[in-house]
Chains A and B, each alone.
Chain A
Amino acid sequence: MSGYRLDSGGLVDRDRPLNFTFDGKSYRGFAGDTLASALLAAGVDIMGRSFKYHRPRGLFSAGVEEPNALVTLRAGARSEPNCKAPVVELFEGLEAKSQNRWPSLGLDVMALNGLAGPLLSAGFYYKTFMGPTRKAWMIYEHFIRKAAGMGAATRLADPDRYEETNAFCDLLIAGAGPAGLMAALAAAGSGARVVLADEQAAMGGSLRGSALQVGDSSGDAWCRSALAVLAALPNVTLLPRTTIYGYYDDNTFGAVERVADHLAAPTEGMPRQRHWTIRAKRLVIASGAIERPLVFADNDKPGILLADAARIYVERFGVAPGHRVALFANHDGAYRTVEALSAAGIEVVAVVDPRPEIGAAARAVAEASGAELLTGQVVTRARGGRKLTGIEVRPYDPAGGVQDRLPRTLAVDCLAVSGGWTPTIHLASQASGPARWHEGLAAFLPGEPTQPWLAAGACNGEMATAACLAAGARAGTEAARACGFAISPVSLPAVMEEVFCDAVLPVWDARAPSKNGGKGKAFVDLQHDVTAADVSLAHREGFRSVEHLKRYTTLGMATDQGKTSNMAGLALMAQESGLAIPQVGTTRFRPPYTPVTLGALAGQARSAHFRPLRRTPMHDWHVAQGADMMEVGVWQRPRVYRRDGENVEQAYIREARQVRAAVGMADVSTLGKIDVQGPDAAEFLNRVYSNGFLKLPEGKARYGLMLREDGFLWDDGTTWRLGEHRFLMTTTTANAAPVLAQLEFLLAAVWPELKVAVTSVSEQWAAMAISGPRTRDVLATVVDDIDMSNEAFPFMGVREGKLDGIPVLVARLSFSGELAYEVYSGAHFGEAVWRKIMAAGEPFGIVAYGLEALGTLRIEKGHVAGPELDGRTTAEDLGLAGMTSRKKAYIGSAMMDREGLVEPRRLKLVGLVSRDGQPIRSGSHLVEANGASAPPRSLGHITSSTYSPALEKYIALGLLENGRDRIGQHLVASYPLKGHEVGVEVVASHFFDPEGSRMHV
């Protein structure tokens, strides 16, 4: 592109040089530069390699629409791929690397892909997956994925902090160009709360650096004074460097503020980015428009860039894009570039315009610049190797297209192109009906709003600065009035006459007719390397809907989401189909408008803050004992309490053995606990549980089963009758919240006549289970006023009393099959009660046991838990049919006898014993020992497994087809993913003490 820094001009601070590197080479720019403007000023032509063909690419734009100049910014943990050079603000020490090239940007061996071009045409992936080459994909995938791509993300943890915040306002204004600024000025005087957000560091949009006279001075001066006025108002919030990326229900918006991206690293206490959730009564969309390129052969050569970008680099950064520049445009607005370049002393060689007639003002600009004005002509091809050296120009006739004549060649090192403007309707399209077609501008405008927003300025097809200011004032006034504010009229600044885009001559394909040099790739989508030929191919192969076109060719995908390419793609498809563009339609723009970092979305919710951790009241004790804590759902629970040198298995075996031999205690505070009170509480429980609860006496607990309405098992637990109208229900840990919500639903929507109240008390009670033959001896020494004898306190009894002065509930329940009690105390007494029991148990050899031993003990007893209550099992499947009453109606009773649920061959709960002393892996499938079929048919699977110290064998619970009729059979538990197979014998699920003699003593 042969860019260079002009001697004067631009908004950069020439007294503040900044050093930076690109691909390891040192450069110098100025404060106020972007990485793109600094590289352009340094004469860097090639800034990237293209996605598929690895063609050399230069800077193409001056904004977020940039398809080519993508770089990886910073290094190490802060390394960030796919940053668009035109929006990277320069800072001292900035480090950038080019992407998608090997070994270097200048010499890229992958550029050979260009030679294999036809292989990578539209639909390449589909054809490879579906066709006879499917197997070859396995071989080539690695290389193709490596060759086609963007930058690589770092694997290091993000060292930065991200904030989240909320804002509420009357008006949210998206974009601070002339329309947005004027809308803010119009609304702010009324006292309305206004938030004005703009993605750029400096607000002002097209007015920044503009010499156009607005009011008494330049556009640049006007926008500075407008911003000063707004900044001084207490009801106005200015959010620069903030992109409103998504429009959601109830006028809620997602926005990301790049707080520290313009610095080498955030300073102490500063977040890198801040995510805003903004609720606004009205949105004013003043998001402007994005210029679009033109399609001709080799239109991707470095040195070709958008016309308005060329103007911006001159006016805003004092950088010339080339020494000999040509303009190729189809509307008057692009002549502003000619005006700006010649004012800066840059030679404009020619202006190529397909229109036979151009506006008088545009003609005057062209003539004043000394450029050769070539109306009725188009650029059909760019010339040059690694950068632009010339253009081929041919005559063009609006009726007959490009004329088949020998081209005239002009030597240039920069070509500024403009095919008109595409209004930025992204936000509007997320809350509107179909986009409206504007014939004159050949562009889609916002559709009918489905939420309260107004559009103003270029995004609404108003292209002149004066029109933008007027539309902004109108929108700001109307929006503030709609929010109930009284508005006094605001005066509009006068704007000097300017050239602007009032209409375009749509030229969607400027390639020469093919017999005379129609070769060369004509790109529609620069970022994804989609050519005009690809669009034709997609059409020929039947992918004609705009949605299919997009997916088949990948047009409009990637990090720029087709901001420069969508219109040309649609237009070419329309041409192929012989349809008008509005008939082809456009795809709806979904959020985000520009890429949002995952860090900004995650905010503070990372690492330990990802979700709250729940700790039981005895947590500190477990940790002090060196327990292995594990996450169970959101809970932290002790897994095992390892002693010196023990592994997990040795530890749980010791703990479980000690429970059966003497006594042990486990923390069961995580169980769901629900207080159920009211005169109809018993009746309510009787309708909720599948077994009877009406006759449960006070001071007794009962094990209950809950079904879902569809008849499957849902949850289990014990419920204790504490008084005539008062129960304490326990649920499994995992279902604590869902069960409460379901009970609340039933009381509200199904049985409103029942006088019952339910309250979660899971947090209020600490709970511990003490099990083993010495349990009574231990508790008798610490419990003050409860007669612990078998006669006075029988199995399933519940007593209130005191434990060394602390009020407790004691229930005689057993999950382990041993003599056992559960002790509940107020949560804040939990650790004290636990310590007192541990101390009292010391002479009896008490151990604390964790989840593993808890599991071992319940598997030995054949008790079901989460792995068996998997939502696919019935009470009958798990051998609990006896607990489903036939005498009453309850949740699930009507559907539990459905045909499929009483099918005798269903998977049934069985026990399994390892035959060869090997552990049985949970998740293994049960198959025939010498099955003929390969792979063998699964007869069921292992749900829970353990080593049983009581049986001195590896045992498991499983669900087995027709399982109860298979007792005694020999099967194989197979885990093919791990190559693990164990011979097993099917046994009854009650492995240990099936009569329950040990707990009734």
Chain B
Amino acid sequence: MLIPCPHCGPRDVGEFTYGGDATKERPDPGSASASDWCDYVFARANPRGLHLEYWHHAQGCRLWLKVTRNTVTHAIEGAEIVGPWAEADQDKRRSDEGQDVA
């Protein structure tokens, strides 16, 4: 399986660590109920088909990615960087491309 790391390019799955369902958002500790927490910590849908999931590029750039994977075919539809580095990475690539043109 190849995961297209937006920072490093397509890399073998062996470089990554699986991080679970990426559709779950951590509840707000100020207002969440016990059942919200139960849902966040324990409940997983296990869908057949497209699945949004976290992968950690642990043997690479160490960024966390959100990867869209088809659980039936293992086809990977896309991967994006999670967190504040997403924007920085995009800026960098924009400027890299700009330099290519220049």
Contact = CB atoms under 8 A, between A and B. Distances in A.
Contact of B83 (A710, A747, A889, A898): A747
B38 to A, nearest CB: 8
Contacts of A744: 56, 62, 64
B9 interface: no
A748 B64 contact: yes
B54 A749 contact: yes
A893 B37 CA distance: 11
A896 to B, nearest CB: 11
Contacts of A709: 40-41
A895 interface: yes
B29 A249 contact: no
A250 B2 contact: yes
Contact of B1 (A250, A450, A750, A895): A250
A895 B37 contact: yes
Contacts of A102: none
Contacts of A894: 27, 29, 32, 34, 37
B64 A749 contact: yes
Shortest 5 CB-CB contacts between residues of A and residues of B: A748-B83, A889-B29, A748-B64, A249-B1, A748-B82
B71 interface: no
8 contacts: A250-B74, A710-B42, A737-B58, A749-B26, A749-B64, A749-B83, A750-B26, A895-B37
Nearest to B17: A741
A745 B56 contact: yes
Interface in A891-912: 893-895, 898
B19 interface: yes
Nearest to B66: A749
Nearest to B40: A709
Contacts of A898: 34
B77 to A, nearest CB: 13
Interface in A708-764: 709-710, 737, 741, 744-745, 747-750, 752-753
Contacts of B13: 249
B98 interface: no
Nearest to A279: B2
Contact of B84 (A250, A737, A745, A752): A752
Interface string A872-904: 000000000000000001000111001000000
B73 interface: yes
B82 A895 contact: no
B37 to A, nearest CB: 5
Contacts of A250: 1-2, 74
Contacts of B37: 894-895
A749 B54 CA distance: 9
Contacts of B42: 710
Interface residues of A, number: 20
B15 to A, nearest CB: 13
Interface in A746-791: 747-750, 752-753
Given A745-B19, A893-B29, A752 B83 contact: yes
A889 B27 CA distance: 12
A753 B84 CA distance: 8
A744 B60 CA distance: 13
Contacts of B82: 748-749, 752
Given A709-B40, A752-B83, A895-B37, A745 B29 contact: no
B50 to A, nearest CB: 16
A949 to B, nearest CB: 43
Given A709-B40, A894-B27, A895-B41, A748 B85 contact: yes
B30 interface: yes
A249 B75 CA distance: 8
Which of A710, A744, A750, A898 counts the most chain B CB atoms within 10 A? A744
Contacts of A450: 73
Contacts of B62: 744
Contacts of B1: 249-250
A250 B62 CA distance: 23
Contacts of B63: 748
A753 B83 CA distance: 9
Interface of A: 249-250, 450, 709-710, 737, 741, 744-745, 747-750, 752-753, 889, 893-895, 898
A591 to B, nearest CB: 15
Contacts of A710: 41-42
B20 to A, nearest CB: 10
B83 A249 contact: no
Contacts of B19: 745
Contact of A741 (B27, B29, B58, B84): B58
A249 B29 CA distance: 40
Nearest to B64: A748
A895 B58 CA distance: 28
A748 B7 CA distance: 15
Contacts of A753: 84
Contacts of A889: 29-30
A440 B82 CA distance: 56
B64 A745 contact: yes
Nearest to A709: B41
Contacts of B54: 745, 749
A249 B2 CA distance: 8
A777 to B, nearest CB: 44
Which of A450, A741, A749, A750 counts the most chain B CB atoms within 10 A? A749
A235 to B, nearest CB: 23
Nearest to B42: A710
A250 B17 CA distance: 18
Interface in B44-102: 54, 56, 58, 62-64, 73-74, 82-85
Which of A709, A748, A750, A753 counts the most chain B CB atoms within 10 A? A748
A710 B82 CA distance: 23
A709 B82 CA distance: 20
Given A249-B74, A752-B82, A898-B34, 12 more contacts: A249-B2, A250-B1, A250-B74, A450-B73, A710-B41, A745-B64, A748-B64, A748-B85, A749-B26, A893-B29, A894-B27, A894-B37
Nearest to A892: B41
B18 to A, nearest CB: 11
A44 B40 CA distance: 69
Nearest to B36: A894
A672 to B, nearest CB: 15
B56 A741 contact: yes
Which of B62, B83, B84 counts the most chain A CB atoms within 10 A? B83
A4 to B, nearest CB: 54
Nearest to A893: B29
Contacts of B56: 741, 744-745
Contacts of B74: 249-250
Nearest to A708: B41
A249 B64 CA distance: 22
Contacts of A745: 19, 54, 56, 64
A741 B64 CA distance: 9
Nearest to A898: B34
A894 B64 CA distance: 24
Contacts of B85: 748
Contacts of A749: 22, 26, 54, 64, 82-83
